[in-house]
Every structure is written in structure tokens, then in C-alpha cells.
């Protein structure tokens, strides 16, 4: 039985990855910060099936203990301050957790499990303004946010540990990937929740910023399959994982509201306050290498993904007995239970 250690197991990707590895017969260990141990629905779902270890990317000692205790064959570093918008308000924390946190984990693996294979969650946000032209897994990287800077730091650090210390570290450069488990402050979840609320008769419009920004959005469970496949490759790789197709925020709103029989223009308003200090106009990846080297292809397309997310929001809202016409809950608040 293989043993896997996952940081960020309470997040969208971590919880789906844990499900996938458990289905494959792995013994799964999850690193959980003490402050988040009692507040995650993902952890509540997994608690009886995974081993939980207290740890924090800001604390070298806790990561070393986690690696020693779990004795992993595979390590997946998915923990981070992962919201791009928040990184402008919390740049130091973002660099510490997302950038230096990866270095601390690499050190823990080097000291206590040097034969383990490590997956580092890199990001399409590393490309930044370079994304105006063709990009591949080697860059160039011109990040436009503190989050992107932190991810570049972790990505290059992975290469250093690979070359200098012989660690089997692979980086998955994942483009945007979504699901009903996505955090409520991400635009896909906000739009799908807004469509569900409108379908239930709530009249408060959904406020959005830049409708023209385009992203390559994929289905998160598809992407965790790619993470696992990447660590099965004999040699460590830097691999782009994407669908190859981009959609605008306007497309997202149109598809989400159409899923409940509504026109998005009747329920969305523009809000200048939601514009970012800097915005990448278009991020689209190339899935060719993932298909050729890993045999990976996405199985759920954009329209089906958004339909599933809207349905999940309706299921979250209607069991609570939300009366028609009542003031809607805040979009950035947890869904009612």
C-alpha cells in the first residue's frame, strides 16, 4: 500500500486528490493547520478515511514531524494562500506561505524522506503578462501579482532541489480548475451561486468586475488525476495541465444563468470596486504534452462543469428552506446548512 502525504487537504484540490488516491488504494495522510482542523467540510468528509497530522507551511518543525510520521512514498504540496486577489492585501503572508512554505517542505522531504516523489502545485498565474503570447512549461514567467511571484519562487526552488539534491520533484502548472468545492470568493463559485439565488427568486444583482478577462477553466477532479499521473512518470517533469480553451467571465455568467433559464444581463451589475490592480487579459494553456506523456485528457467540458456547479449551489440553498424573496445570503459567506 503506497503512502501519500497531502498539504492543503482541506481545500478543493486536496480533498479531491485524497478521494482519488483512496480509490486507488493509497494510505493518505493530510497536513492540517490547527486553526482549520475543526472548520472544513472537506475534512469532515475525509476524517474517518485519512490520517490527520497537525502542521503549517510557516513552521519548519511541524513539516519535518509530518514527513517523519507519515513516511510517504509521494508528497503533494497543495497548501498555499491561493486567492490571487487577497495576495495584494497580504503580500508578505502570501510569499511566506506559498513561496517559502514550499521550500520548507522540500527541506523536510530532503532530510526525512529523500526517496519520496514530490508534487509541487505550480500555477498559470506565474506567466502573468507573458501570457499575451504562446507559453509553455519553461516560461517565460512575468507574474503580475504577489501570488504569482510566490508561485514562481516555489517553482524555481523545486528545480533547485531536483538538480542540486536529487529530489524527484515534479511541478504541475495547472490552469484554472473549478468545482462545487471551490472557495466562495472565487469568481466561478460567486457566479454559480448568484445564478442559483436568482433562480430561487432573489432580486439582488450579482456584482462583478472585469467581464472580458478570459481563463482556461477546467474541472478540478480531472486535474487531480493529472497530479497523480505526473508522479508516476519515471523522470520528474514540469507539466502544463489545461483544457486548451478559454472563456470570458461574460461567458461564465451567460452559461451559469442559462442553466436555470435566465438571462445573465438581467441579474448582473458591473462594480468598479471589484477590478484588480492588475489583470491578465487571457490565460490559456496547451494540454498537448500532458496527453502525449501522461495520457491525460480532460473529461468534463466548460458547460457541463458550470451546470454541475449551479446545481450544487441550488442543492446547498434549497434544503435550508430559504423562503422565496428573502434577502439572499452574502455570496462570500458559507452556504447555509
Residue 163: exposed, middle, or buried by beta-carbon count in 10 A (0-12, 13-18, 19+)? exposed
Which three-class secondary structure state does DSSP give residue 116? coil
Say which residues have a Cβ less than 8 Å from residue 215's Cβ, sequence separation at least 6. Answer: 175, 176, 246, 247, 249, 282, 283, 284
Catalytic residue chosen out of the listed positions 40, 82, 87, 123: 123
From CA 172, how far away is CA 177, in angstroms rounded?
13
Q: What are phi and psi of 46, to 5 degrees?
A: -95, -15
Known catalytic residue: 119? Answer: no
Catalytic residue chosen out of the listed positions 26, 70, 87, 125: 125
Of all helices (H) and strands (E), which one includes residue 63? helix 60-70
Catalytic residue chosen out of the listed positions 147, 161, 223, 257: 147
Known catalytic residue: 204? Answer: no
From CA 126, how far away is CA 146, in angstroms rounded?
10
Which three-class secondary structure state does DSSP give residue 103? helix
By annotation, the residues acting in catalysis are: 123, 125, 147
Amino acid at each position: 500500500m503506497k503512502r501519500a502525504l497531502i498539504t492543503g487537504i482541506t481545500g478543493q484540490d486536496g480533498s479531491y486528490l485524497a478521494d482519488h488516491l483512496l480509490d486507488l488504494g493509497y494510505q493518505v495522510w493530510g497536513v492540517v493547520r490547527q486553526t482549520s482542523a475543526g472548520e472544513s467540510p472537506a475534512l469532515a468528509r475525509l476524517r474517518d478515511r485519512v490520517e490527520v497530522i497537525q502542521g503549517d507551511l510557516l513552521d519548519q518543525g511541524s513539516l519535518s514531524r509530518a514527513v517523519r510520521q507519515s513516511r510517504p512514498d509521494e508528497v503533494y504540496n497543495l497548501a498555499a494562500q491561493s486567492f490571487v486577489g487577497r495576495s495584494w492585501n497580504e503580500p508578505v503572508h502570501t510569499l511566506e506561505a506559498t513561496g517559502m512554505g514550499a521550500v520548507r517542505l522540500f527541506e523536510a522531504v530532503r532530510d526525512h524522506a529523500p526517496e519520496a516523489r514530490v508534487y509541487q502545485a505550480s500555477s498559470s498565474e506565474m506567466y502573468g503578462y507573458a501570457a499575451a503570447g504562446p507559453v509553455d512549461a519553461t516560461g517565460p514567467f512575468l507574474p503580475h501579482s504577489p501570488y504569482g511571484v510566490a508561485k514562481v519562487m516555489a517553482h524555481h526552488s523545486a528545480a533547485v532541489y531536483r538538480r542540486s539534491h536529487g529530489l524527484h520533484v515534479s511541478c504541475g502548472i495547472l490552469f484554472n480548475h473549478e468545482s462545487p468545492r471551490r472557495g466562495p470568493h472565487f469568481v466561478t463559485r460567486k457566479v454559480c451561486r448568484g445564478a442559483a439565488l436568482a433562480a430561487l427568486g432573489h432580486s439582488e444583482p450579482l456584482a462583478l468586475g472585469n467581464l472580458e478577462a478570459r481563463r482556461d477553466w477546467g474541472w478540478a477532479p480531472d486535474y487531480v488525476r493529472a497530479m497523480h499521473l505526473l508522479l508516476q512518470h519515471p523522470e520528474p517533469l514540469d507539466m502544463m495541465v489545461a483544457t486548451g480553451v478559454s472563456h470570458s467571465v461574460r461567458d461564465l455568467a451567460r452559461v451559469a444563468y442559462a442553466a436555470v433559464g435566465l438571462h445573465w444581463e438581467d441579474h448582473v451589475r458591473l462594480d468598479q470596486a471589484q477590478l484588480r490592480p492588475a489583470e491578465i487579459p487571457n490565460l490559456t494553456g496547451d494540454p498537448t504534452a500532458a496527453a502525449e506523456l501522461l495520457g491525460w485528457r480532460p473529461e468534463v467540458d466548460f458547460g457541463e462543469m458550470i451546470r454541475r456547479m449551479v446545481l450544487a449551489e441550488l442543492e446547498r440553498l434549497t434544503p435550508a428552506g430559504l423562503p422565496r424573496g428573502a434577502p439572499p445570503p452574502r455570496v462570500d459567506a458559507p452556504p447555509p446548512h
